[in-house]
Amino acid sequence: SELVVSFGEMLIDFVPTVAGVSLAEAPAFVKAPGGAPANVAIAVARLGGGAAFVGKLGDDEFGRMLAAILRDNGVDDGGVVFDAGARTALAFVTLRADGEREFMFYRNPSADMLLTHAELNVELIKRAAVFHYGSISLIAEPCRSAHLRAMEIAKEAGALLSYDPNLREALWPSREEARTKILSIWDQADIVKVSEVELEFLTGIDSVEDDVVMKLWRPTMKLLLVTLGDQGCKYYARDFRGAVPSYKVQQVDTTGAGDAFVGALLRRIVQDPSSLQDQKKLEEAIKFANACGAITATKKGAIPSLPTEVEVLKLMEMLEAWKYCDAVMLL
Ligand code: ATP
C-alpha cells in the first residue's frame, strides 16, 4: 500500500486579518484550519497520494467543518471520531512585527486530547505504509496512551513510523517535561524531522553542525532531517548524509511549509521505499519536498497553499532553468 496515515490534532487557527500585530492589537481574525498532522495528510492527498487522518474533533460546527475539509481534499476521514462533550481545539496565532510568533490556545481540554485507544480505527492504521505523528498528542491522557497504542499497531503491521515533534512550548507544563516526553518515543521512529529550533531545544546547542545533529541520531533510524527554512535541509541516513538547498522564492507566510515538506517526502518514500537506502533517489525526493515547502511559503495560510504534484514539478523545472539567476520572482 502507499497509504500515509497521519495521527494527531486538527484544529482551527484564528489569524489576524492584518499582518504584524499582537493578538491584543488584532482588529479581527479569520479561520485557518490546521494542525500539523492534518496538514501533512492533506499535503499527501493534494500530491495525489493516499492519505488518512486519525484524531478526535468536537461534535460541533467547527469539528464537522474540519472533517469536511479532510474529505474535500481527498483525505480518508475513517479514523476521525467526535467528542460529544468537548469542543474542537482553537488557537489564536499571530506573527508580530518583531518576527515572533504569539500563540493562545483554547484546549481545556479540547476534543483532540480526549481520543482513547478504544476509539482507534485499528483496521485503517494497519493499512498504513507510513504512520506519521507529532508530539502534541503526547501531552495529555487519554490521547497520549492512544498515540502510543496507535504507534504499536502501525509498527506491528509493518508501517514505517515518521515523527515530526512540532514543538509548541506553550502547551507543555514545562520545558523539561516537553524535552523528556518528546524524546521518550525517539527510538521508535524510522524517519524523524526537526527544525533548527527543535534541534537546539532538544540538544541544548545552538548549531546545525553534524556532531550536534548526530546527538539525535539513533541506530534504529532510517532517516533524520533538519529543515533550515529557505536554506533547505540536511539529511542523515545510515550510510550517507548531505544537504539539499531549497528553491529561491518570494516568501509570504511559512505556515505549513514544514508540513508540506514532510507530506511530500513521505509521498515519495511510499512510492519508492528504496529511496531511504539510495542517496541519489533520496536527494531527488528531498528536492521535491523542498520545492513543496517553498511553494507553501509563497502563499498565506497552510492548507490553501499546499501544492499539487504538477505545480511542484513545474516550479522545479522553472527554477532549475533559472538556476544561475540570483532572484526569481514567482508568478
Ligand atoms: P513550520 O514553519 O511549518 O513549523 P519548519 O520550521 O519545519 O516548519 P521550515 O524549515 O520553515 O519548516 O520549512 C520546511 C521546508 O520548506 C524547508 O526545509 C524548505 O525546503 C522549504 N522552505 C521553507 N521556507 C522556505 C523559503 N522561504 N524559501 C524556500 N524554501 C522554503
Output DSSP code: residue 90.
E
Helical axes 61-72 vs 36-46, angle rounded to 10°: 30
How would residue 328 be classed by pLDDT, with cut points 50, 70 and 90? low
How far apart are alpha carbons 23 and 28 in whole angstroms?
A: 9
User: What pLDDT does residue 329 have?
Assistant: 55
List the grid coordinates of 289. 519536498
- 79-89 burial: b if 16+ Cβ within 10 Å, else e: bbbbbeebbbb
User: What pLDDT does residue 199 have?
Assistant: 98
Residue nearest to atom 9 of ligand 1 (CA): 229
* Coil vs helix vs strand at 29: strand
Distance 145 CA to ligand 1 centre (A): 31
DSSP-assigned beta bridge partners for residue 95 = 101
Q: Which of 259, 272, 278, 326 is catalytic?
A: 259
Pocket test for ligand 1, best of 230, 252, 255, 286 (most atoms within 8 A of CB): 230
For 50, what's the count of Cα atoms within 13 Å in the CB-facing half-sphere? Answer: 15
Residue nearest to atom 4 of ligand 1 (CA): 258
Q: CA angle, 309 as apex, 190 and 283 as ends, to 5°?
A: 45
Give the pLDDT mean for 244-261: 94
Helix (H) or strand (E) holding 176: helix 175-184
Q: What is the pLDDT of residues 277-297, one digit of tens each?
A: 999 999 999 999 999 999 999
How would residue 331 be classed by pLDDT, with cut points 50, 70 and 90? very low
DSSP-assigned beta bridge partners for residue 235 = 225, 242
DSSP-assigned beta bridge partners for residue 244 = 233
Q: What is the pLDDT of residues 48-77, one digit of tens each?
A: 999 999 999 999 999 999 999 999 999 999
Distance 232 CA to ligand 1 centre (A): 7
| Ligand 1 pocket, CB under 6 A | 195, 227-230, 232-233, 246-247, 249, 251, 254, 256-259, 261, 290, 293-294, 297
Distance 296 CA to ligand 1 centre (A): 8
Helix (H) or strand (E) holding 105: strand 101-106
* Coil vs helix vs strand at 20: strand
Residue 301: CB partners within 8 Å, gap ≥ 6? 15, 32, 253, 255, 256
Distance 58 CA to ligand 1 centre (A): 30
Q: 281 near 223, Cβ under 8 Å? A: no
Residue nearest to atom 6 of ligand 1 (CA): 195
Residue nearest to atom 11 of ligand 1 (CA): 229
User: What pLDDT does residue 315 have?
Assistant: 94
Q: For every residue of 108-158, which 3-state class applies, written as one string?
A: CCCHHHHCCHHHCCHHHHHCCCEEEECCHHHCCCCHHHHHHHHHHHHHHCC
Number of the ligand 1 atom closest to the C-alpha atom of 228: 10
User: What pLDDT does residue 325 have?
Assistant: 61
How would residue 258 be classed by pLDDT, with cut points 50, 70 and 90? very high
Number of the ligand 1 atom closest to the C-alpha atom of 259: 3
- 233, pLDDT greater than 60: yes
Distance 9 CA to ligand 1 centre (A): 20
Residue of higher predicted confidence among 321 and 155: 155
- 244, pLDDT greater than 70: yes
Give the pLDDT mean for 252-266: 95
How far apart are alpha carbons 23 and 101 in whole angstroms?
A: 10
How would residue 96 be classed by pLDDT, with cut points 50, 70 and 90? confident
* CA distance between the termini of the chain: 36
Give the pLDDT mean for 216-222: 97
Give the pLDDT mean for 3-31: 95
Residue nearest to atom 27 of ligand 1 (CA): 230
Give backbone dihedrals phi and psi of 2, rounded to 5 degrees, phi first: -110, 20
Is-catalytic flag, 112?
no
Distance 229 CA to ligand 1 centre (A): 4
User: What pLDDT does residue 187 have?
Assistant: 97
